[in-house]
Structure 1
Amino acid sequence: MSETESASIAARLDRLPPSRTVWTIVILISLGGVFEFYDLFFTGYVAPGMIKSGLFSPHSLGFFAALDSIRIAGFGTFVFSTFAGLWVGVVLLGHLPDRFGRRPVFTWSLVWYVGCTAVMAFQQTGEMLNVWRFIAGVGFAVQLVTIDTYISELIPGPERGRAFSINQFITFCVVPVVALLAWLLVPVRPLGFDGWRWVVLIGSVGAAVVWLLIRKIPESPRWLALQGRQDEAEAVMAMIERKVCAERGRPLPPPQPVPAQEHGSSRFRDIFSAGYGKRTVMLSVFNMAQVIGFYGFAAWVPTLLIARGITLTHSLEYSFVIAIANPIGPLLGTLFADRVERKLQIMIGLVVMGLAMLAFSQSSSPVALIILGVLFTLAANVMSYAYHSYQAELYPTRIRARAIGFVYSWSRLAAAFAGLAIGYFLGAGGVPAVAIFIAIAMVIGIVVIGVFGPATRGISLERINH
């Protein structure tokens, strides 16, 4: 298929008006992403239960106990295994959506999650628990990369920010669910089975149900066109256009020309080629910085509350209250996602996160801690949907998934070691030391995005990457 014909598919996608047809696809894709967030966030909420089960004694940890020499011990080995698996998966598998398509990688990574996480729930030693946690992370890591790629390619430029805010609203709705489940189940043993195991298994069952719903999602027409699969791209595009026309009861507006994108294979070195190398370095540094605040707070919030003098039971209760704010941030974002430049949304979110964390570290009142935790969470999730949209916009279709996977992998790697750093700072200087660490990371993120990030609001993917 010629570059002209590929550009024609892109132009036809970009002229689509808001419609139930396209938004249904976005919602179904988002449901697939729910369980990456469930998986990531249950890490912090089930920690007290796992520790109580005695899984992290040196004897139970087996060869993982050797990590104590680099100050990875106890529950820290589980956090490390989580993000190490996600990092290895993104690095090794991040190119698969560019090679085999968005749809198959999206659906089968969910199957991987269901199987590996279910096996993990029945492990009786910390050693095997961590092994299966790592394996699950390797296979499931590519899921969010694929989702970002998928949505960016389906939605016209003027609605792209709103699409990502809706996507993250749906995925973050699971965070208060997992927090509630942990609050209710972790302190008890229903049917003689540890409560934390129930929390893990519920996620696997839910993911299996969602897999049944998403099997009919179409492949990205942009990707099909770039692969020269003209008939398939035309079939998907015609189906979408036909449904949108039927909804509106009138013909679609004529497509506006967009620049043709270069065809070719997806090679690793291409993400460092002229025009993209600076973006790759910028986003890699940014991902390392933002994750320190995002998961540094989310994964440690029960522990941070305990460090501020809150009991275990109340820390889980307060964590649930804070978790309710997770979907509210992206929901608020629907009001301004495409009205405010993407990079500015990211920077404001980082500013609020840093200030809220510093205030959190100086508070002892339960009410103040909850309010500041909610404020931090709202800002973090506005920042999150904005940057997921942003980094997907900054690369062409042929290398989009590979590039997102690479830059996003640095957040996984940083999260693995940030958890160790936060544990160290918490022990050495308490919550104030953790707050300073997070605030410094937020400043780094603000600088790299503010200085080196291009504008993308309302611009077609092809023009951003021309």
Structure 2
Amino acid sequence: MSKPAVATVGEHESAQEAHASLSMSKAAEIAARFDRLPPSRTIWTMVILISLGGVFEFYDLFFTGYVAPGMIASGLFKPESLGFFAALQPLAVAGFGTFVFATFAGLWIGTLVFGFVADRFGRRFVFTGSLLWYMVCTAIMAFQTSGFALDIWRLIAGIGIGVELVTIDTYISELIPSGERGRAYAVNQFITFSVVPFVAFLAYVLKGTQPFGLDYWRVVMLIGSVGAVIVWILRHKIPESPRWLARHGRIEEAERIVADIERRVIAEKGILLPAPRSASLEQQGKGSYKEIFGPQYRARTIILSIFNMAQVIGFYGFAAWVPTLLINRGIHVTASLGYAFIIAIANPFGPLLGVWFADKLERKTQICGSLITMGVVIAIFSQASAPWLLIVLGVLFTLAANIMSYAFHGYQAELYPTRIRARAIGFVYSWSRISAAFAGLAIGILLHGYGVPGVAGFIAVSMLVGVCMVLLGPSTRGRSLEAISR
């Protein structure tokens, strides 16, 4: 009686293996068809729509510093209003610092704990779902009347933002041909960083007013939430990742999406598409966190985790502290805010410059060149005193930081296979969230004890660590995701 049962189990396992093999083969074929597509409005429309989703995540991340004065003046961050968050006093983040703490705690949970959801449920579903999460939580947060409630809803909203940022990086890498991935990330970050000067200007114009009878900082929050509704409505124009669909056995859906994109590109360009190159098969795997630390990807995971801890010290360390650093270099407090705004305007122009060379230079070269530039510029900044020179150096640092940003976001998405891409990005990126939280404390201590030169030394050493880590990673320019993951 046992033999037929064994045979049945064996047949079932063989069928599963055959189905998995078919899915892998189809995913490779789809990838090859994607990679031969020429630059087109069809492809770039998808990049722009995905990037618009990221705009509101960046809006949310960067409005914190600009609404801080109004939120503090409202009295919501006094100990009696903070509940158990008042216990963070020993960490020197009591008061408004608890709001910043809640932001990074939410981002950390979103990237580390929930990064896997896009691998399990799909890129499009999680992209739109996390955007909806952000809209609802931010709208609720804007009407809270205690520091405790604000911090709780900020933490919950931060989880959605963390998931969204991971999903965007994953999504773009899988929808864009290999020859255009660099430019796609540059355009993505040009669009998302364009919101930084906008939110700075918005907070400046509304400061001290009460539109619709609400404190200005509540309106700034609500604008981001309401604007995100538009992107959520446009979500139906972005297809699910065919790579993800094929990898999960949904071959007909994947085929339909790729065929539709091919038809639109052919109609738009008026050309016949070249034959796909030979397809590279991804290795089989279960798609679990265990794979991130397996023999094949362990080194990449360690390299990117250390890199993320290092790069964020320069990126957010300078951006968050630039007004204070200017004051410490002898600039009057009022003038420092104006200079900081001029420097903030430079944010989107780093990725815009990158559009010209994003796919001409190896990703590692762009990252290392930017990190070295950041280290050198901050060293000169620490010794300069002329206002015009401090502004020029601040702009140069910001340009280099944002070139580095788009390049590394694309790079880390390229180093893992489709089955674990989102959870791997979430894990390595989560280290930047932790590092950013504690780097702020470290910079405050160094600035008090050693001045701007102490902060510059901290940032420069961190940039050197980042360079060393990236040099240990593989090259990716012009290679298919499947070939890189092998």
Q: TM-score range by the shorter chain?
A: over 0.9
C-alpha distance 318-54 of structure 1, shift in aligned 2 (>3 A): farther
- The equivalent of 2:225 in structure 1 is 204
Q: Deviations over 1:64-84 (max 9, x none)?
A: 121111332333222111111
Partners of 2:282 and 2:483 within 8 A in 1? no
Which residue of structure 2 aligns with residue 393 of structure 1?
A: 414
Residue of structure 1 in register with 2:475 after alignment? 455
CA distance in 1, matches of 2:334, 2:277: 58
Report whether the alignment pairs 1:193 with 2:220: no
1:190 Cα deviation (Å)? 4.0
Which residues of 2 match residues 80-159 of structure 1 at below 5 A?
A: 80-159=101-180
Residue 485 of structure 2 is aligned to residue 465 of structure 1: yes
Q: Which amino acid aligns with 2:426?
A: G
* One-letter identity of the residue aligned with 1:305: L
Paired with 1:288 and 1:377, the residues of 2 have a C-alpha distance of: 18
Stretch deviating more after TM superposition (98-107 or 215-224): 215-224
Deviations 1:231-281 (A, max 9, x none): 100010110001011112121100001221134432000111122110000
CA–CA separation in structure 2 for the residues paired with 1:123 and 1:365:
44
Whether the 8 Å CA contact 1:179–1:319 is kept in 2: the answer is no
Q: Alignment partner for residue 67 of structure 2, among 22, 37, 46? A: 46
CA shift for structure 1 position 154: 1.3
Pairing 1:412–2:422 present: no
Match of 1:301 among 322, 330, 333: 322
Partners of 2:99 and 2:385 in 1: how far apart? 29
Judge conservation of contact 1:43–1:299 (CA < 8 Å) in 2: no
Taking a change above 3 Å as real, the CA distance of residues 439 and 35 of structure 1, as seen in their structure-2 partners, is same
The corresponding residue for 1:292 is 313
Instruction: Give the secondary-structure state (helix, strand or coil) at the position aligned to 1:132.
Output: helix
Aligned residue in 1 for 2:373: 352
Please report the TM-score for the alignment, with normalisation by the length of structure 2. Answer: 0.92
| Deviation of 1:414 (Å) | 1.0
Query: Does structure 2 conserve the Cα–Cα contact (< 8 Å) formed by 1:44 and 1:301?
Result: no
Show the counterpart of 2:8. none
Q: How many residues align?
A: 465
Q: Is the 8 A contact 1:280 1:407 kept in 2?
A: yes
- Listed one character per residue, the Cα deviations across residues 373-404 of structure 1 (whole Å, up to 9, x for unaligned) are 11111000000000001001100111111100
**Alpha-carbon spacing, 1:437–1:50, altered in 2? closer, same or farther (3 Å):** farther
C-alpha distance in 2 between matches for 1:81 and 1:288 = 19
* Larger Cα-atom Rg: 2
| CA distance in structure 2 between the partners assigned to 1:152 and 1:7 by the alignment | 15
Residue 281 (str. 1) matches residue 294 (str. 2): no
By how many angstroms is 1:423 displaced?
A: 2.4
Alignment of 1:181-330 (within 5 A): 181-190=202-211, 192-311=213-332, 313-330=334-351
The answer (yes or no) to whether the contact 2:46–2:237 under 8 Å persists in 1 is no
Aligned to 2:113, the other structure's residue is in SS state helix
CA separation of 1:410/1:359 partners in 2, compared to 1, >3 Å: closer, same or farther? same
Deviation of the 1:176 alpha carbon? 1.0
Distance 1:361 1:59, change over 3 A: farther
Unaligned stretches of 5+ residues in structure 2: 1-18
TM-score, structure 1 normalization: 0.96
8 Å contact from structure 1 (residues 183, 320) kept in 2 = no
Equivalents in 1 of 2:176, 2:271: separation in Å?
A: 20
Change (3 A) 1:60 1:296: same
Q: Is residue 35 of structure 1 aligned with residue 52 of structure 2?
A: no
Shift of 1:405: 0.6
- CA 316–70 in structure 1, closer or farther in 2 if over 3 Å, else same: same
1:436, distance to aligned residue in structure 2 (A): 1.9
Moved over 6 A (4+): none
Post-superposition shift, 1:121? 1.8
Deviations 1:97-119 (A, max 9, x none): 10000001000111111111122
- Displacement of 1:186: 3.0
The verdict on how the C-alpha distance between 1:35 and 1:271 changes in structure 2, with shifts beyond 3 A counting, is same
Give me the whole-angstrom Cα distance separating, in 1, the residues matched to 2:306 and 2:416.
17
Q: Cα RMSD (Å) of the superposition?
A: 1.7
Could you tell me which of 435, 444, 449 is aligned with 1:423?
Answer: 444
Contact 1:45 1:302 in 2 (8 A): no
What SS does structure 2 have at the residue aligned with 1:371? helix
CA distance in 2, matches of 1:267, 1:359: 46
Q: 1:405 to 1:199 in 2, by over 3 A?
A: same
**Deviation larger for 287-296 or 367-376:** 367-376
Q: Structure 2 vs 1, CA of residues 219 and 53 (structure 1 numbering), >3 Å: closer, same or farther?
A: same
State the AA in 1 paired with 2:361: V
Call closer, same or farther: CA 1:445–1:308 in 2, change over 3 Å: same
Does the CA-based 8 Å contact 1:328-1:378 persist in structure 2?
Answer: yes
Could you tell me the percent identity over the aligned residues? 66
Within 1, Cα distance between the matches of 2:204 and 2:320? 15
Q: CA deviation at 1:311?
A: 5.0
Secondary structure of residue in 2 paired with 1:260: coil
| 3-state SS, counterpart of residue 237 of structure 2 | coil
